[in-house]
Amino acid sequence: MTTRERATTARPRTGMRTNRTRYVPKRKVCFFCANKNEVIDYKNPEKLRSYVSDRAKIDPRRRTGTCAKHQRAMATAIKRARHLALLPFVADHSFTPAVTSQASQSGQATPQPTP
């Protein structure tokens, strides 16, 4: 019995439509299992960047599709690349100074401290 058949044969809850099936996403295949010649190496940051989010976080298995064995190796390689400054620890952000006083917002000059 497949997962799709199981979803349709399950007892329907009250208030739900019974003729719909649940969405079952297609199983992703591990890139490294499919390509046996590919090696996870911390010295190749271009390949590792595709497994890191825009916030510089390691993407989970459900997003990347890697198997558990290669996900562990990937995480170790990313962490090693971070320590060697090949990958960032955090996302790049632009610094905008925060306005803290009412005087600077209204355009008045703030008194400078005398040494």
Q: What is the pTM of this model?
A: 0.60
**Domain boundary assignment for the chain:** 32-90
In the chain, where does DSSP find H-type helix? 3-9, 31-34, 45-49, 61-64, 68-83, 102-106
Euclidean distance between CA atoms 94 and 60, whole angstroms: 26
Q: What confidence tens digit (pLDDT) does each residue in 16-46 have?
A: 666 677 777 777 889 999 999 889 999 999 9
Q: For residues 56-74, give the mean pLDDT.
A: 94
pLDDT of 105 reads 57
Architecture of the domain spanning 32-90: Irregular (4.10)
